[in-house]
Amino acid sequence: MHSLIETGTVARGFLGVSVDPIMGEMAETLGLKKDSKGVVINNVTVDGPAEKAGLKRGDAILSINDHSVTSRQDIRLLVSQIPPDTEVTVKSYREGREKIVKVKLGKLTDDGESQTEILPGIQVARLSDEIRRRLNTESRIDGLIVTRSTPSRPMRNGS
């Protein structure tokens, strides 16, 4: 939100991985305790931030900046809230060993999504005088208004 207000665009961090949640037997297959939580990398973007930092397909990600990661949504939301070019600490697990990896996030590119997309599936606009009039809102009120919510995205129903 701060980026949108200050620059008129949204700059989101990009790690460059596709993941699946670690559940039950998968944890043991990876060498983790059965009740371990995290995600396993199923794809790494070539030349992306994760690959440059040494993360590989099959690695488990347990946390980023000490925030637990247990789902695709967790990792996407967490990384997208961190500005590009920020170094993050990724706690990973490979071949029986926990490892701390420093990753400098890239910038998520605009793949057809509006630069006003503040969260996945949520587009906003700055309040204008015209919008304030239509909403019968005082002129002293400043901020953003949601202009579109994509039905298939998780934020649509507040979840």
pLDDT > 70? residue 115: no
Walk me through the domains of the chain, giving residue ranges and CATH numbers: 2-107 (2.30.42.10), 117-157 (no CATH)
**Most trustworthy range by pLDDT among 14-18, 29-33, 62-66:** 62-66
The pLDDT value given to residue 92: 96
Q: pLDDT tens across 78-101, in order?
A: 998 898 999 999 999 998 899 999
According to DSSP H, which parts of the chain are helical? 2-7, 25-29, 49-52, 72-80, 129-134
